[in-house]
Structure 1
Amino acid sequence: MDVTEIDHVNLHVPADGVETAVEFYRDRLGLAIENEEKYASGDKPFVSVRLAPGAVMHVQPDEDFEAPDDATFDHVALRVDADIESLKAELADAGVAVDRELEPLGATGVAPAVYVTDPFGYTLELKAERS
C-alpha cells in the first residue's frame, strides 16, 4: 500500500450544529464550505469543509452526539501557509482563542503550532511554516 495523502476526515456534531460549524470554519477560520445546498435538500447527510485542494472534513449532524474527550479524540493537525505570528494575529482578529502553543513534531518535521478548539470540543492543531 502506498498512501499519498489524507482525503477526508469525518467529524460528528450535535443535530443542530451545522450552522455553528459553518460559522466557525467558514466565518472565523476562513475555510470554504461545500455541499450546503445538497445538505439542505437532504441529498447529503453532511457539509464539507475544504481544508486543502485534495482534502476535506465532513461535518455530520448526529442525534447521539457526545463531545469528544481525551479518551476518544485528541486533535486534527493542519499545516497552514503562514508564519506563526501572522497565524496568531489572524485568529485573534477572528475572535478565536488559542488554547496553547507548541513546536510539535509532525509529518514535515518540527514547526510552531497553535491549538484551538471548535464549538463542539474538537481540537485543531494549526501548524505554521517553520521559522
Structure 2
Amino acid sequence: MKARHIDHVNLRIPEDGVETAREFYGDRLGFGIEDAPFRADEKPFFDVRLSATGVIHLWPTAEFDPPEATNYDHVCVVVEESLEAIEAELAEAGVELERTLESPLGATGEAVAAYVRDPFGYRIELKERV
C-alpha cells in the first residue's frame, strides 16, 4: 500500500457548536466551510476545506466529550504563510496563540509552527511549508 496524503480527519463537536465552528474555522482561520448537504439534512457532518485534497469533518453530537491529553494531541495543517504572517493573521482575528516551535518534525520535514486551540479544545498546528 502506498499512501499519498491524509484525505480527512473526523472531529466531534458539541451539538450546539455549529455556528461557533463556522466562525472559528471559516471567519477567523480563513478556511472554507462546505455545509450545504449538512444544512439540507443529507449528511450528519460538515466540512472545513483545508485544501483541494484535505478536509476536517466536523460532527455535531449531543454526546461530546472535550479532548484530553490522553485521547488527543493535535491536527497539523501546512499553510503557505510564514510564521510571522500566521501570527499576524491570528492576532488580527483575535485567536490566541498557544505556542510556537522552531522546528517540529512532520511528514514534510522540519518547519516552524504555531499552535492554537479551537473553541472545543482541539489543538491545531499551523505549520510553515517546507
TM-score using structure 1 length: 0.95
Q: Which residue of 1 aligns with 2:118?
A: 118
Structure 1 Cα separation of the partners of residues 54 and 109 of structure 2: 20
Q: Which residue of 1 aligns with 2:46?
A: 47
Query: Where in structure 1 do 4 or more consecutive aligned residues deviate above 4 Å?
Result: none
Q: Which residue of 1 aligns with 2:12?
A: 12
> Aligned residues: percent identity?
51
Q: Which residue of 2 aligns with 1:92?
A: 91
Q: Which residue of 1 aligns with 2:60?
A: 61
Deviations 1:67-123 (A, max 9, x none): 000101000001010111011001111111100110201111111001000000000
Structure 1 Cα separation of the partners of residues 8 and 119 of structure 2: 20
- 8 Å contact kept, 1:84–1:129: no
Task: Give the C-alpha shift of residue 129 in structure 1.
Answer: 3.4
Give the direction of change, closer, same or farther, for the CA distance of 1:29–1:67 in structure 2 (3 Å limit).
same
Is residue 101 of structure 1 aligned with residue 100 of structure 2? yes
Is residue 82 of structure 1 aligned with residue 112 of structure 2? no
Task: Give the C-alpha shift of residue 37 in structure 1.
Answer: 2.4
Structure 1 Cα separation of the partners of residues 39 and 129 of structure 2: 37
Task: Give the C-alpha shift of residue 66 in structure 1.
Answer: 0.4
Query: Unaligned regions of 5+ residues in structure 1, if any?
Result: none
Structure 1 Cα separation of the partners of residues 19 and 32 of structure 2: 14
Q: Which residue of 1 aligns with 2:32?
A: 32
CA RMSD of aligned residues (A): 0.9
Query: Unaligned regions of 5+ residues in structure 2, if any?
Result: none
Q: Which amino acid aligns with 2:20?
A: T
TM-score using structure 2 length: 0.96
Structure 2 Cα separation of the partners of residues 88 and 43 of structure 1: 37
| Count of paired positions | 129
